[in-house]
Structure 1
Amino acid sequence: MNQQEHMLNFYKVIYSERSLNPMAAKIVTEETDKIL
């Protein structure tokens, strides 16, 4: 599995968790800022 595939799988999990877990939403925001 390459890095990009790993990140996509990570985001799928986080996005599915996001509605249930506000902390997950915070992590998504921070990780997106790092990438950009």
Structure 2
Amino acid sequence: MERLTQNVKNGLRKFAASYVKAMTLYGEAFLATKGIA
């Protein structure tokens, strides 16, 4: 059971990191288009 919990935590951490990275890229692109417009 402990291993399963650890795997879930690691999975969530990876997902969160990917999500934050995607949001950062999206935010930069959004600001770039706003700056151009």
Q: TM-score range by the shorter chain?
A: 0.3 to 0.5
Q: TM-score, normalised by structure 1?
A: 0.47
More helix by share: 2
Q: TM-score, normalised by structure 2?
A: 0.46
Indicate the structure whose relative CO is greater, using CA pairs within 8 Å and at least 6 residues apart.
1
Q: Could you say which structure has the larger radius of gyration?
A: 2
